[in-house]
Amino acid sequence: MPAAASESAHCTPVSGRVVLCRAGFEGEAAGELAAAAAAAGLSGFARASSGSGVARFELHDVTTQNALEAATPWPRLIFARTAWSLHASVQALPTHDRVTPLLHAVQTHGQHYAQILVEHADSDSGRELSALARTLAPPLRGALQRAGVLHAQAARDLYVLLSAGDAALLCSAARGAASPWPGGIPRLRFPSAAPSRSTLKLEEALLVLLDERERERWLRPGMRAVDLGAAPGGWTYQLVRRSIHVTAVDNGPMQPALLESGLVEHLRNDGFRWRPGKPVDWLVCDMVEQPRRVAALIAAWLRDGACRRALFNLKLPMKKRREEVLLCLDLLHAAVPGIELRARQLHHDREEITVLALPPSAR
């Protein structure tokens, strides 16, 4: 082994949790890790450098790593595109051989892994590392395989998060516990017939917030949906392509091709006032409005049984974004006992989050 490469690099053991998030939302992502850790009685500190697209929580006590992982499962985190447990920080990787010191650091940790993924953040500096991540992955995988670190049956996956050309965080997650997409970003292709790019928001929401079985059961041809704030029809397009009937409520114009599908009724009405005559399977809502007003509207529809499930966007142009989200979710919990809320800032969400609301009767 070329000893010099391992000797110049430093590996510092660190225990904690790392999440990838939208650049600019590191404070919110770190805030939710810190709040969950505090609620579980775990002491440590949050670290989030603005614009990095990464947030982490470092534990004071290494033995509480499993408890932190249990307290911060990825599906429950709103601002995290994915979440991993943190084991070590490796610095001063020599550019001529990054593989040897990384292999050494992984071996020091003494675990086996099912697979290795080399990742980078979705930020200006993170994206500059994408080529390195691609070229580093095959030789690192080969070295780990030869060293006997990779086993198909192992319970966890290894994530190497590049933080600079010469630095990385070693992380891991139980199989299936982190996002299945690199960087937590499903790669979706914009459908050329769709009327607006926001079609990808609903497509991503249906992919990330529902599992395969739920998509099969809850998105059936012939179902009925209402789309509040529908124009020009990006969200309606996603429902129509699944042969769902849509009442599209918006004063703005809808794409003519959607109206010609025979599945769309366009009503030029106020989305805060209009209600359907009969309950519908889905309410979707992308109106640009105060989040509390939208949350109260959705709560009223669900409480009155006007829709079975709801999927909606909360716009967050304010400073206290996490506080506003928590307030909206509390409002829904109070209005609809037993409601399940799945909330996430998706890749296609900008200053906003998407929420799936499932009352007990809808599950």
Ligand X SMILES: C[S@@+](CC[C@H](N)C(=O)[O-])C[C@H]1O[C@@H](n2cnc3c(N)ncnc32)[C@H](O)[C@@H]1O
Q: What span, in angstroms and rounded, lies between the C-alpha atoms of 248 and 263? A: 10
Q: What span, in angstroms and rounded, lies between the C-alpha atoms of 27 and 169? A: 19
User: Which helix (DSSP H) or strand (DSSP E) does residue 158 occupy?
Assistant: strand 156-164
Nearer to ligand X by Cβ, of 175 and 292: the residue is 292
Please, which residues bridge with residue 225 across strands?
246, 282
Strand ranges of the sheet holding 156-164, from the earlier edge strand across to the other edge: 44-48, 54-59, 10-20, 82-91, 167-174, 156-164, 116-119
Question: From the CB of 264, what's the least distance to ligand X, in Å?
Answer: 12
Residue 194's CB: how many other CB atoms inside 10 A?
Answer: 24
Residue 202's CB: how many other CB atoms inside 10 A?
Answer: 24
Nearer to ligand X by Cβ, of 196 and 261: the residue is 196
Nearer to ligand X by Cβ, of 194 and 302: the residue is 194
Nearer to ligand X by Cβ, of 13 and 252: the residue is 252
- Residue 18 corresponds to which tokens in the numbers above? 């790392």
- Residue 156 corresponds to which tokens in the numbers above? 């966890």
Q: What span, in angstroms and rounded, lies between the C-alpha atoms of 197 and 94? A: 42
Is 238:264 a contact under the CB 8 Å cutoff? Answer: no
Catalytic residue among 278, 315, 319, 320: 315
Q: Is 315 a catalytic residue?
A: yes
Question: From the CB of 330, what's the least distance to ligand X, in Å?
Answer: 24
Nearer to ligand X by Cβ, of 26 and 250: the residue is 250
Q: Residues forming the annotated binding site?
A: 198, 231-234, 250, 270, 286
Nearer to ligand X by Cβ, of 252 and 338: the residue is 252
Q: What span, in angstroms and rounded, lies between the C-alpha atoms of 272 and 249? A: 10
Of 336, 316, 338, 334, which is closest to residue 325 (Cα–Cα)? 316
Please, which residues bridge with residue 355 across strands?
312, 343
Looking at residue 117, the DSSP 8-state letter turns out to be E
Amino acid at 172: S
255 in helix, strand or coil? Answer: coil
Question: From the CB of 234, what's the least distance to ligand X, in Å?
Answer: 2
Q: Residues forming the annotated binding site for S-adenosyl-L-methionine?
A: 198, 231-234, 250, 270, 286
Is 231:287 a contact under the CB 8 Å cutoff? Answer: no
Q: Which residues bind ligand X (CB under 6 A)?
A: 195-196, 198-199, 228-235, 249-252, 270-272, 286-289
Is 227:196 a contact under the CB 8 Å cutoff? Answer: no
Return the active site residues. 315
